[in-house]
Structure 1
Amino acid sequence: MAIHGESMRTTSKDGETLTPVLLKVETALDYPNALARVAQYILENPKKAVRQSLGELSAASQSGQATIFRLCRELGFKGFTDFKLALAAEVGQRETEPNRSENLTVNSLDETVSLISRSVSNTRQLVQQEVLASAAPPLLSARHVNIYGSGDSGLAAEVLFHRLRRIGVNARIFVNVGYAHEAAEAMTADDAAIAVSQSGASPDTVEFLRKAHHIGAFSLAITCHPKSSLAKVANVVLQMARLPQPGLSEQMIALPRAVFIAEALAIAIADHAKAVTKSARATR
């Protein structure tokens, strides 16, 4: 669930409220695969996208030129040139803004606390108890629980790995995509895989979970987009809230959501373990 505050909007000369370009692009992460792949690339590389030609962007995002043109039209632009001009203006405006890290004030600190709190509380609203409960048994009983996330999502994967290890889950984390895919191919139905991707469109992460799912291992996706490519190859999906304001201290604000997800899973697994132990004692 994205929360869009008034501070995220700009106003045209005619007084019309405009939606920031990158915020529009973020909504495209829920579009079909090819469109979502272009959107993800632009969100991760806005400065590069501004300088790239249609052909260069096509090659970099591994998508067809027709797909890029279609995305621009879907987002409300006349074409690729119109989109690039708007994106360039937004990127340029961000670069001219004062460096927040050098101008910390009480207000900016309070704003950061608010954004972190909202990202966690919104995630809590999206995480359902029954979904957590359904994930606990296969994770606890798995021979191995292989965890992978790339880029910023790799930090979230590390948090999850350490938390699950502390409660007795035989978790393993992979930071190298090659090793992650090898592990996925070697998995059996006795294993489990957890893939973390905010966009749910990262090709390497999707392929990792797809391989595990195809083999028959329990597959868990942690993403902000429940209709993403990643979610489609998962047995269970845990949804994180989208960041309240894309582009503002993203890594810092994103990590608390992962901490909450890790704690929620740990609680569900611990509750399941207690129930199993209680049941075993009762049958003796």
Structure 2
Amino acid sequence: MARPVQPPIAADPDPRPPLTLVGTITARIRALRPSLSPTGIRIGDAVLATPAEIVALTVTELADRTDTSVGSVVRFCQDTLGLKGFHDLKLRLAAETTPSTDTSEPTPGTPSDTVQAVLAAATAGLEQLPGSLDHTVLATIVGLLRRADRVLVAGVGTSAPIAADAGYRLRMLGVHTEVLTDPHQQHLAARTLGPRGCCLAISHTGQTQETLTALRAATDSGAVTVGITSYLRSPFTELCHHSVVAGATERHGLEATASRLMHLTVVDILIALLADDDPTTAATAQ
């Protein structure tokens, strides 16, 4: 007797749902920064540098400070951040920039200053993470991971340890998972996932070519693709059916541990939600 054909784990994964802007204003700007125009970057960087000061400025003063125009500032607030206007931006920043949540980066000085700045970035990222998460997206990803016949966790470079951790803990919960950090093996595995498969990809920048190649191969095979990244608009989020965007402030343009800590925390959340979904499997794994 022929084996019955199983339906795909996602009835119709295309078109991809639009990514929504959630979380604090400063978190939104960081997530959007790589996709901004030069003018948008100047305005966004000014807000990130001294969010508390922006509250006291007029729209003209911010335009002068960033060498832009009033119209550019208003468009940045409305079109980029999805706000009503500059006044709305100031209200949101005023609510965010209390002494314990000010996300501006201290000026480098002594080693003590650097230590405090690195720790502050990690702490601020974790504090802001709950407001950056879309619970509906998390629940959807958990359902896809649970229903998949096979899950490929893809990640290279500094994302490889996070991928390995995710794969190990998914297997503990009974999810048929493989983690392949070699790009060629990753690509081959992605090509064979099929409609009952799921590719969980992790990429900080969303620009890593090896990971993008695996995502394209998974999509071509009919698999559903989900991802964890730091930036909202990138080739990575365009290729993922569902994305979790979670990042943190970086110093010197380096991929900071703070950002990877956000991604590990998202993995923790997914694992906890999977365990809640099937407590019996979780208890057996302990």
Superposition TM-score, scaled by structure 1 size: 0.58
Among candidates 160, 164, 175, match of residue 170 of structure 2: 164
Greater fraction helix: 1
Contact 1:126 1:240 in 2 (8 A): yes
1:205-244 to structure 2, matched below 5 A, reads: 205-241=211-247, 243-244=248-249
Q: How many aligned residue pairs are there?
A: 192
Question: 1:267: how far off?
Answer: 1.8
Partner of 1:257: 262
Counterpart-to-counterpart distance in 2, 1:260 and 1:275: 23
- Residue segments in structure 1 that go unaligned for 5+ positions in a row: 5-22, 36-75, 77-96, 277-284
Decide whether aligned partners of structure 1 residues 3 and 142 sit closer, same or farther in structure 2, where only a CA change above 3 A counts.
Answer: same
Counterpart-to-counterpart distance in 2, 1:169 and 1:275: 13
Counterpart-to-counterpart distance in 2, 1:250 and 1:186: 31
State the 4+ residue runs in structure 1 displaced beyond 6 angstroms. none
Among candidates 152, 155, 174, match of residue 180 of structure 2: 174
- Residue segments in structure 2 that go unaligned for 5+ positions in a row: 1-23, 39-66, 68-106, 282-286
Contact 2:250 2:256 in 1 (8 A): no
CA displacement, residues 95-120 of structure 1 (integer Å, 9 cap, x when unaligned): xx99x9xx753x54443322111122
**1:269 correspondence with 2:260:** no
% identity of equivalent residues: 18
Counterpart-to-counterpart distance in 1, 2:227 and 2:280: 25
Decide whether aligned partners of structure 1 residues 108 and 29 sit closer, same or farther in structure 2, where only a CA change above 3 A counts.
Answer: closer
Superposition TM-score, scaled by structure 2 size: 0.57
Q: Which amino acid in structure 1 is aligned with residue 217 of structure 2?
A: K
Q: CA RMSD in A?
A: 3.4
Counterpart-to-counterpart distance in 2, 1:215 and 1:108: 47
Question: 1:259: how far off?
Answer: 1.8
CA displacement, residues 228-256 of structure 1 (integer Å, 9 cap, x when unaligned): 11111212111112x31333774422321
Contact 1:164 1:262 in 2 (8 A): no
Partner of 2:202: 196
Decide whether aligned partners of structure 1 residues 170 and 206 sit closer, same or farther in structure 2, where only a CA change above 3 A counts.
Answer: same
Name the SS for the 1:246 alignment partner.
coil
Name the SS for the 1:117 alignment partner.
helix
Question: 1:168: how far off?
Answer: 2.3
Q: Which amino acid in structure 2 is aligned with residue 228 of structure 1?
A: S
